[in-house]
A and B are shown apart, each in its own frame.
Chain A
Amino acid sequence: MTPTVIIDGTPVPVNGHRNLLELIRSSGVELPTFCYCSDLSVYGACRMCVVEVEGRGLQTACSTPPEDGMVVRTTTEATQRIRKMALELLLANHQGQCQTCDRNMRCRLQALADRLGVRRVRFEAPADRETQLDEGVALVRDPAKCILCGDCVRMCSEVQGIGVLDFAGRGSNVRVTPAFGRSIDEVECVYCGQCAAICPTGAITVRSAIDEVWKAIHDPARTVVVQIAPAVRAALAQHYGIAGGEHALGKTVTALRRIGFDRVFDTSFAADLTTVEEGAEFLRRRASGGPLPMFTSCCPAWVKYAEQFQPDLLGQLSTCRSPQQMFGALARKHLPADMGILPEDLYVVSVMPCSAKKFEAARPEFAQDGRPDVDAVLTTQELIRMIDQAGLKPAELPAGALDLPFGFKTGAGVLFGASGGVAEAVLRLLSGGRGRVEFREVRGLNGLKEAELEQDGRPVRVGVVSGFGNARALLEEIRAGLKSFDLVEVMACPGGCVGGAGQPWPADTGMRRERAEMLYDCDAVQPLHNAADNPFVSDCLERIGGSDRHAAHSLLHTGYRPRRRIDGQVIELDEKPPAARVPVSVCIGTNCYLRGSYDTLKRLMEAARREGLEEAFDFQATFCFENCKASPNVRVGEEIHGGVTPEEADEFFRSRLLPLADGRSCAAARE
Chain B
Amino acid sequence: MTQAVAVREPAQDAAGRRFERIQQLVEEYGASRSALIPILQKAQEEYRYLPEEILTFIATALDLPPSTVFGVATFYAQFSLEPVGKYVIKVCDGTACHVRKNQALISSLRSRLGLKEGQKTTPDMRYTLEIVSCIGACALAPAVVINDRVYGQMTADKMKAVLDEIERVEAAAAGDGKEEQ
Q: Which residues of A does B touch, CB under 8 Å?
A: 157, 162-170, 177-181, 187-188, 565-566, 569-576, 588-590, 593, 598, 602, 605, 614, 619, 621, 623
Contacts and interface: CB of A to CB of B under 8 A. Distances in A.
Nearest to B70: A179
A264 to B, nearest CB: 41
Interface residues of B, number: 30
B25 to A, nearest CB: 12
Contacts of A569: 52-53, 56
B19 A574 contact: no
Nearest to B54: A571
A185 to B, nearest CB: 15
A573 B65 contact: no
A614 B12 contact: yes
B74 interface: yes
A572 B68 contact: no
Contacts of A619: 12, 16
B83 interface: no
Given A170-B74, A605-B16, A614-B12, A598 B23 contact: yes
Interface in B145-181: none
A574 B12 contact: yes
Contacts of B51: 571
Contacts of B12: 573-575, 614, 619
Contacts of A565: 66
B19 A168 contact: no
A164 B65 contact: yes
A73 B158 CA distance: 68
Contacts, number: 91
A370 B61 CA distance: 39
Majority secondary structure of chain B interface residues (helix, strand, loop or mixed)? helix
A165 B11 contact: no
B14 interface: yes
B87 interface: no
B35 interface: no
Contact of A164 (B53, B67, B74, B77): B67
B28 to A, nearest CB: 14
- The 7 A-B residue pairs whose C-beta atoms are closest, nearest first, are A163-B65, A179-B66, A575-B11, A574-B12, A166-B67, A569-B53, A166-B71
B56 A602 contact: no
Interface of B: 11-12, 14-16, 19-20, 23, 51-57, 59-61, 63-71, 74-75, 77
A180 B15 contact: no
Contact of A178 (B56, B64, B67): B67
Given A566-B56, A569-B52, A575-B12, A180 B66 contact: yes
Given A574-B16, A598-B23, A621 B57 contact: yes
A207 B121 CA distance: 39
B16 A166 contact: no
B86 to A, nearest CB: 14
Nearest to A598: B23
Contact of A165 (B67, B69, B74): B67
Nearest to B18: A573
Contacts of A188: 65-66
A179 B19 contact: no
Contacts of A178: 67
Residue in B14, B16, B51, B57 with the greatest tally of chain A CB atoms within 10 Å: B16
A156 to B, nearest CB: 9
B71 A573 contact: no
A629 to B, nearest CB: 18
Residue in B52, B59, B66, B68 with the greatest tally of chain A CB atoms within 10 Å: B66
B15 A589 contact: no
B4 to A, nearest CB: 22
12 contacts: A157-B65, A165-B67, A179-B65, A566-B56, A569-B52, A572-B15, A573-B16, A575-B14, A588-B60, A590-B63, A593-B61, A619-B12
